[in-house]
Amino acid sequence: MIIRSARLEMTPLTQHDWPLFYTLHNTPEVIAQCFDPVDDAVLQQKFQQRRVPWYKEAGHWQGLVIREHASGDAIGVTGMCLSQGRAEVGYWLLPEYHGKGFGTESLQALIQWAVSSQSIIKFKAVVTEGNVASERVLQKIGFQMVEKVSDAHSIGGKRYTDHIYHFDAA
């Protein structure tokens, strides 16, 4: 499986992508508004779960590495998890690729693939309040905030509200 866009190519995670996955989950600028760091054993388990082949009824997260066409460099990860007919989508990019439109482009390509090859038309994204850049990405694509969940989780001992976004491609 390969998902392509103008500047990007997304393919399933392989064992060779562990350094990228590890870096994304341990870089303060990436995780600051997402979650606290986890120990290596938990992270390795999460990585292995993302490598399990994904299919529509799988019930687990799809894991895709995002590569830039021009350089061939791995710049982040993306994926989705289908539950009750709605696919939750997400992505993480290395800090040096923030603000260049790669988040928007990767999610648009993932959604187009899901619609055209998997007949998935309902999508969801969860963003921690204050993560303005990610909210802008979702809004550019057409996501609308449908709910705020107060005190949804803790990062660094502080409670945060989640913003729940929905997008229907139909």
pLDDT in tens, 117-129: 999 999 999 998 8
So what's the pLDDT on residue 104? 96
Q: With the C-alpha atoms ordered 123, 134, 152, 53, is the resulting torsion angle positive or negative?
A: positive
So what's the pLDDT on residue 40? 85
Looking at the predicted structure, is the pLDDT value of residue 34 above 70? no
Looking at the predicted structure, is the pLDDT value of residue 154 above 90? no
Whole-angstrom Cα distance, residue 75 to residue 94? 6
So what's the pLDDT on residue 32? 61
Q: pTM for this structure?
A: 0.91
Q: Which of 86, 79, 94 is nearest to 47 (CA)?
A: 79
So what's the pLDDT on residue 31? 64
